[in-house]
């Protein structure tokens, strides 16, 4: 048995060496032609993108590498959306695009041509708070406040997801409309990190708003 295994390995090595020997290697002329063709492709470094932000049409010329978060903060000066981890792990940069919540640090601005974007500034004003904003204040759903804009945007879109019947990992019956429960809220909000630990108060705020909507 050991002899068979050794023979098999030897044959494998022989076959691999033979394959490598007959592999076609591009000539210098072919390699240079391919490089010239790649160099001739005109890849723009700047593009103009148009989208609607908080009800206002905006047009920006941005570096194609600019994230949506940086476009909002640095170009439009909408600094409510926070840059926390810049890796899509904390949720502080959450905004609502086309009715769905996204982490704006993980998407490029030029990918959102024609889209409708809502940031924390577009949900409400100090004189006319969104119900979720008012509930966060009432239930003390924040401490340092850094994660709060993302928490609120995520909460608003999350309740819309439940109303639309979109299930989560906490949904027990995939054939029924998800229930409005703290378990659902905790699961769906798990992508938004509160380093101050105000989670129970955040759930209280969401529960109050969900009760009114129901």
Quote the tokens at residue 91.
């949720």
Q: Tell me, what's the pLDDT at 43? A: 76
Quote the tokens at residue 78.
């909408």
Confidence of residue 213 (pLDDT cuts 50, 70, 90): confident
Spell out the SS3 assignment of the chain. CHHHHHHHHHHHHHHHHHHHHHCCCCCHHHHHHHHHHHHCCCCCCEEEEEEEECCEEEEEEEECCCEHHHHHHHHCCCCCCCCCCCCCCCCCCEEEECCEEEEHHHCEHHHHCCCEEECHHHHCECCECCHHHHHHHHCCCCCCCCCHHHHHHHHHHHHHHHHCCCCCCCCCCCCCCCCCCHHHHHHHCCCCCCCCCCHHHHHHHHHHHHHHHC
Instruction: Tell me the per-residue pLDDT of 34-91, one tens digit each, with 9 for 90 and over.
Output: 666 665 667 789 999 999 999 999 999 999 999 999 999 999 999 999 999 999 999 9
- Report the mean per-residue pLDDT for the chain: 89
Q: How far apart are the first and last CA of the chain?
A: 71
Is it the case that residue 164 has pLDDT exceeding 50?
yes
Q: Which residue has the higher pLDDT, 17 or 159?
A: 159
Confidence of residue 5 (pLDDT cuts 50, 70, 90): very low
Distance CA 179, CA 136 (A): 22
Q: How many CB atoms are located within 10 Å of the residue 142 CB?
A: 20
Q: Which residue has the higher pLDDT, 159 or 5?
A: 159
Q: Tell me, what's the pLDDT at 148? A: 97
Quote the tokens at residue 159.
């309740």
Instruction: Tell me the per-residue pLDDT of 82-106, one tens digit each, with 9 for 90 and over.
Output: 999 999 999 999 999 999 999 999 9
Q: What percent of the chain has pLDDT over 70?
A: 81
* Domains of the chain with CATH codes: 37-123 (3.10.20.30), 124-214 (1.10.150.120)
> What's the half-sphere exposure (Cβ side, CA atoms, 13 Å) at 128?
4
């Amino acid at each position: 048995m050991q002899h068979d295994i050794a023979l098999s390995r030897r044959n494998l090595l022989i076959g691999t060496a033979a394959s490598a020997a007959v592999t076609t290697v591009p000539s210098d002329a072919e390699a240079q032609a391919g490089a010239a063709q790649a160099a001739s492709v005109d890849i723009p470094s700047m593009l103009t993108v148009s989208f609607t932000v908080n009800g206002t049409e905006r047009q920006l010329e941005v570096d194609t590498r600019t994230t949506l978060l940086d476009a909002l903060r640095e170009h439009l000066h909408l600094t409510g959306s926070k840059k926390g981890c810049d890796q899509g792990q904390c949720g502080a940069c959450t905004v609502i695009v086309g009715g769905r919540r996204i982490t704006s640090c993980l998407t490029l601005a030029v990918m959102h041509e024609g889209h409708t974007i809502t940031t924390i500034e577009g949900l409400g004003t100090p004189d006319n708070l969104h119900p979720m904003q008012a509930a966060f204040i009432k239930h003390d759903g924040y401490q340092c406040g850094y994660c709060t804009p993302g928490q609120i945007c995520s909460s608003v879109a999350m309740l819309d997801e439940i109303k639309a019947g979109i299930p989560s990992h906490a949904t027990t019956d995939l054939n029924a409309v998800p229930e409005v429960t703290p378990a659902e809220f905790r699961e769906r909000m798990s992508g938004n990190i509160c380093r101050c630990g105000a989670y129970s108060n955040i759930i209280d705020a969401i529960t109050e708003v969900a009760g009114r909507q129901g």
